[in-house]
Amino acid sequence: MADIHINCPYCGEQLTATPPTRRGDDIDCPACNRSFPIPRKSYAKPIAMSVVFVALISIVVSTYLPSDTETEEAGAAEPSTIDAPEAVTPEVNEPENQAPAEVEAPKQEPIDLVKIGMSESDVLSIMKRPKAEFGRGNSSYWTYDTWEVTFTDGKVSEKIRRRVP
């Protein structure tokens, strides 16, 4: 086993642990006399690098693979239709000039105009005065009937529809 080089998390002293000391064992720092565990080896970096590598490969491959949305090139030969048999299309009786059925547009409520990121004054101009206001610190909550609008740092962070009891 090789030596383990670490820094003390308390005083920053550079230490070297030699075998039989292993990762996860507690050691004492000679500089500050505090005990701490030797950090275990992290496998997060190789896994993250593998995920990024696979993502880059998939982007490159998807760029060069043909897709169904590509148009044919201008110089591509079109198949000849001279020798092809004529296709028979069945006749469909279409109704004559029927007026389309009138569809009622859904009524837009003022809460539909409130969007994430709007300021409190914008919401106040749309929704008028809230039924109740509460909050602490950088978060506040305004209630309107079944709706609750949440503000974080003066901007709308979410709007929630509460169940009517």
pLDDT of residue 81: 52
Contact 23, 38 (CB under 8 A): yes
Cβ contacts of residue 145 below 8 Å, gap of 6+?
131
Instruction: Report the pLDDT value the prediction gives residue 103, as an integer from 0 to 100.
Output: 67
The pTM assigned to this predicted structure is 0.35
In CATH terms, 1-59 corresponds, of 2.20.28, 3.55.50, 1.20.1250, 2.40.30, to 2.20.28
pLDDT for res 155: 92
| Cβ-defined contacts of 30-34 (< 8 Å, 24+) | 32/8, 34/8, 34/10
User: pLDDT tens per residue, the chain (165 residues)?
Assistant: 578 888 898 898 988 887 777 777 888 899 999 988 888 777 777 888 888 889 888 888 877 776 665 555 545 555 555 555 666 666 666 666 666 667 676 677 888 888 889 998 888 888 888 888 888 888 888 888 888 888 888 899 888 888 765
User: 159 with 151: CB under 8 angstroms?
Assistant: no
Give the pair of three-digit tokens for residue 17. Answer: 């642990």
